[in-house]
Structure formats: structure tokens, C-alpha cells
Structure 1
Amino acid sequence: MIRRARILALSGTFIALIAAGSWLSIPLPPVPLTLQTLFVLLAGIVMKRCGVIPVTLYVLLGAAGLPVFHNGAAGLGILLGPTGGFLVGFIPAALITGVAYEHKSTKIRVSGLFAATAVTYVFGVAWLSFSASLSIPQAILLGVAPFIVGDVVKAAAAYTIGKRVA
């Protein structure tokens, strides 16, 4: 019973944090720079494999019309737009991070953070390429290149925060 209550409380917290992170954005067309990724990684760090629960619920709530996506956007249209792949990619990213954090090895944990980021990129680039009729190199140039440094910083921040709270 206590474990379920903890998962429920942490899920609500991480849904709120990911939504708040979406409001802290720098508009770069077609994909804005946000803090969502930091909180997706932290959900996996703190909740282990159960971190996939709040991330999945976040995506579903946004698809259902709650204004939780970047700058209060909502609806299935956002998932079908150029940023949809990145949002869907958050789900396996949280799972990968969570599974990595079930291990005690620092190497596995750090590898998990970078694998999670890479998976988000793969989902995002594939969908950006399809939805915006871009070649894969163009999608990488628009959807990955501007974000690499920031995502490394977010992964490092998640790792550092995770050492304190997990």
C-alpha cells in the first residue's frame, strides 16, 4: 500500500514538473528548447522503471487536451506535429533511465542517461522528418544539433540531482 501511494504521489509531482518544464522554453523552430527532458530523466532516476508512469500520463493528458505541452499547447495535433516524436520519445527515455538506475554501477547509470537522450532524438528525428517532409540529415540539423549541449547539461544536472534525491 505504501509503495502504491508513493508511486501515485511521485507521479503527480513529476507530471507537474514536466508540465512546468515545458513552460520554461526558448522558441527554436520547429522544436523549442525546454526543461522537460530534465524532469523526464529525473522521473526515471527517482522512480526507477516506474518513472515511465508519470511520463506516459503526461503525454496522454496533453493529447487529451490538457495544456501541458510547451507554452500551454495541447491536443493530439501537437503529437502529430513536428515535436510529437520527441514527446513520445520521452516514454522510452524514462523507462531506459529507470532501468539503468536500478543498477548500482555509475557507468550503467550514466550510459542510461545518454541512451535515454539518444532514444528521444531517434523518435524525434524520425517523426520530424516524416511530419515536416524533411530528409533525415535536415531533421538532425533542426531537431538535434541545436540541443546537444543543452541536453548534455540537463543529463549532468539530472545525474547530480539524482545523487541527492534518489
Structure 2
Amino acid sequence: MTSELLDQALVEEATKKSGLIWVRGDGAPAARALWHVWHEGAVCLVGDGPGEQPLPGLADGGSAEVTVRSKDKGGRLVTWRASVSEPAPGSPEWEAAVAELKGKRLNAPDGEEMPARWARECRVLRLAPAGPPLPLPAGSLAERPVPSPATTRRPVPAALPRLLAGLRKKK
């Protein structure tokens, strides 16, 4: 029993303190970094709508693997299995999750209208721990980043090295 309580405390504290978690849903090719909140013993996520994070492979009644990183060092702390549920919009569980998520959502384009937009266009999911933490893998599990239009790589402008050198001399 003590081991179960320690495992539960590890999952909860690590997940609460981490700004991002890596989630791989059933059938998803790779884990994705997702922002979240910890609320009433589970991770709450919002996504799959315009301007929100994608939630591939996460479906009501499914399962997922959640990896939590250290906020300080960025290394993997714990990996755990989760059962996925999707509360109905307007239900008490949905309202409680949205209240927590709304406080953590950065740069929202619609402010106070955000919960109504989430109810119309997005999904709110709850990932509850299911079982003990998984053993840490021996390897790094490094993967190529998921393709995204947000990641652009351009050549460094020719004048940049001279500009930076000039700034260093002025100090």
C-alpha cells in the first residue's frame, strides 16, 4: 500500500510542476508535447480546435502514455499510463476542468469567450492515472520533431554576425 501511495504522489507532484507533458495516445505515431493542468487527480487538456493544440490518438474511453519531464533540468521523471475520458460540455466535470484550463491558457485570442468557443469547437479531455508508473527506458527515445508549419528554418542574415560583434564591443 505504501508503494502505491508513493507512486501516486510521484505522478501527481511531477505532473503538477511540469509545464509540458509528452502524451502518446493509442494509435498515435509519436508523443506530443501538450500544455495541461492537474485537477482533481487527473491531467486536463483542451485541443483539437482552431488555434488550440492537436490531440491525436486521444479518444474517450481510450488510453495514453504520459511522460513528465523535470521543470528544472528537462529530463524525464516519470512515465505513466492514463485512461482518457471526455466530459460532456456543460457537465460539472467539464465546467471544473475548463475553469482550471482557462486560468492557464496563455495568449488566448478571445478572453472571456474562450469557454464558449471550447464548448463549440474543441475537446476537453481528462487523463487519469491507471496503474503504477512505467519503468524508465534504458535509451533516450529521441525522435524527430513532428512536422509543423510553426517550425521554420532560414539562413542567418549576412549582416547578423557583424551586428552582434558591434553590440559586444559597445559594452
TM-score by length of 2: 0.29
Answer 1 or 2: which has greater helix percent: 1
Q: Which has the larger Rg?
A: 2
Answer 1 or 2: which has greater strand percent: 2
